[in-house]
Structure 1
Amino acid sequence: MSESTFELNSCNNDETWHVSTWIHRAFFATGCATLLISLAKSLVIACSSRGGWQPFLALFGAILGYILADLATGIYHWAIDNYGSEKTPVFGSQIESFQSHHHQPWSISKRQLANNLHLPAAWVTAAVWPVNIVSRDPVLLGFVAVFAGGIMFSQLFHAWAHTPKGKLPPLAAALQDVGIIVGRGQHAAHHKPPYNGNYCILSGLWNRFLDKYKFFVGLETVLHAVLGVKPRSWSDSNADGTRF
């Protein structure tokens, strides 16, 4: 049974679908270690550099990484929400999982930390380790660490966006309130008709801009004109209006 089908039927068939296994924890720990090495290497090189601007440039790279990571989560979320299926190579399981999420959006808040983040942690490890080994540029290392970390932890912030405020850690609720991570109200709009906006799930910083200027609608129109493929957001809903 695939991960998403497992999740969709979990309430009736299995009580451990949300539990972290040792494999999940190993992937998550490796991802965290990879990010910490990038950050530490960036900090050490920047602070030891004779160029007085290096620490500030590294900080700028980190901030830029966080901003662009939010955009990346939106583009990826839009793509797997609207195109492909469980049979799509490489991404099929995530496509199916995100579609299942639209049936039971609350379920993501039940998943334990490593269970929820082990897949992005594995991708982060594979992508960032080569940069850690090769690069001695503190700006690049800071950018990569925060960008990759934002992608990885966006699934946690996504889960928090489906969690009642009273059940959130106080720090998480405070970060939502100031807009550093995506808030519950903003993300709730993604699960309401017409189901075609608010895709960014890190900070949500880009959502208003992308939706105002119909960025994703434009991409969908171009892809339909060129490839003849319609996105799910144009037509797919069930009887009670929940997206497939």
Structure 2
Amino acid sequence: MSESTLDHELNSGNYNDETWHVSTWIHRALLATGCTTLLISLAKSLLITSSSGTWILTLSAAILGYILADLATGIYHWAIDNYGSEKTLVFGSQIESFQSHHQQPWSIAKRQLANNLHIPAAWVTAAVLPVNIMSHDPVLLGFVVVFAGGIMFSQLFHAWAHTPKGKLPPLVVALQDMGVIVGRAQHAGHHRPPYNCNYCILSGAWNRFLDKYKFFVGLEMVLHTVLGVKPRSWSGSNADGTRF
């Protein structure tokens, strides 16, 4: 958390310098709303699937949702790591948070659950609630609940990737070892020079492919050619100019 953000939180009465990682009631409310929205999608998908018998299609859509969610976390992570600042509209707080994370990677493991997940939970609610209301397609709902759930909980998996193995539940360690969720060793590569790899933080399944074929390097070259904007990874610096 930057000094300016901390001062803002102190003035607003929400935080002090010892409770930046603590969940507030607003955080908990946003997380609860996001989880409730996902549960509605899941229940609706299962109920309609049970009556229509589209189990294979719904399951396939759910698997696809998880695979694409990992890719989405990588693209988003790359974008806010490399472009914009705390003054960027809508995404400024997330950009600042991720830049702070690069300065102190261990800090994410200290954040309480709702504190860590409230922003993606709010986005999930806004995006998924209309789908719940309008759609009666079990396949679409199955895709949406897993895709959106993967996006939301990727921040938790990200935190686990920064948590010592001995402090994690055995099930979490097993899931990391199987590649179901992003592992500690793989994600550690993101925090080593040149800081331009292993952006995906759900399962990390896309990281090897994207890095091997220099997907993000290609995007950076295109943006630099078209807009003249250099990504932070080219200099290894944060938004405030400090080294990752």
Q: Is the 8 A contact 1:190 1:198 kept in 2?
A: yes
Query: Matched residues in 1 for 2:243 and 2:133: separation?
Result: 43
Does residue 85 of structure 1 match 2:85? Answer: yes
Relative to structure 1, the CA distance from residue 45 to residue 2 in structure 2 (aligned partners, 3 Å threshold; closer, same or farther) is farther
Give structure 1 regions of 4+ aligned residues with deviation exceeding 3 angstroms.
1-7
Query: Matched residues in 2 for 1:203 and 1:4: separation?
Result: 33
Q: Is the 8 A contact 1:158 1:201 kept in 2?
A: yes
Per the alignment, residue 158 of structure 1 pairs with 158
Aligned-CA RMSD value: 2.0
For structure 1, the residue ranges without an aligned partner over 5 or more in a row are none
Per the alignment, residue 179 of structure 1 pairs with 179
Q: Is the 8 A contact 1:35 1:145 kept in 2?
A: yes
Q: How many residues align?
A: 235
Query: Matched residues in 2 for 1:243 and 1:144: separation?
Result: 37
TM-superposed CA distance for 1:5, in Å, is 4.1
Superposed CA offset, 1:55-84 (max 9, x none): 110000100000000000000000000000
Relative to structure 1, the CA distance from residue 126 to residue 160 in structure 2 (aligned partners, 3 Å threshold; closer, same or farther) is same
Per the normalisation by structure 2, the TM-score is: 0.92
Secondary structure of the residue aligned to 2:66 is: helix
Q: Is the 8 A contact 1:195 1:243 kept in 2?
A: no
Q: In structure 1, what residue type is equivalent to 2:126? A: A
Q: In structure 2, what residue type is equivalent to 1:44? A: L
TM-superposed CA distance for 1:6, in Å, is 3.2
1:9-28 matched pairs, under 5 angstroms: 14-28=17-31
Per the alignment, residue 120 of structure 2 pairs with 120
Per the alignment, residue 44 of structure 1 pairs with 47
Per the normalisation by structure 1, the TM-score is: 0.92
Per the alignment, residue 213 of structure 2 pairs with 213
Query: Matched residues in 2 for 1:73 and 1:169: separation?
Result: 24
For structure 2, the residue ranges without an aligned partner over 5 or more in a row are 11-15
Relative to structure 1, the CA distance from residue 128 to residue 2 in structure 2 (aligned partners, 3 Å threshold; closer, same or farther) is farther
Per the alignment, residue 13 of structure 2 pairs with none
Q: In structure 1, what residue type is equivalent to 2:20? A: W
Superposed CA offset, 1:13-59 (max 9, x none): 7111111111111110110010011011111101101xx4x111000
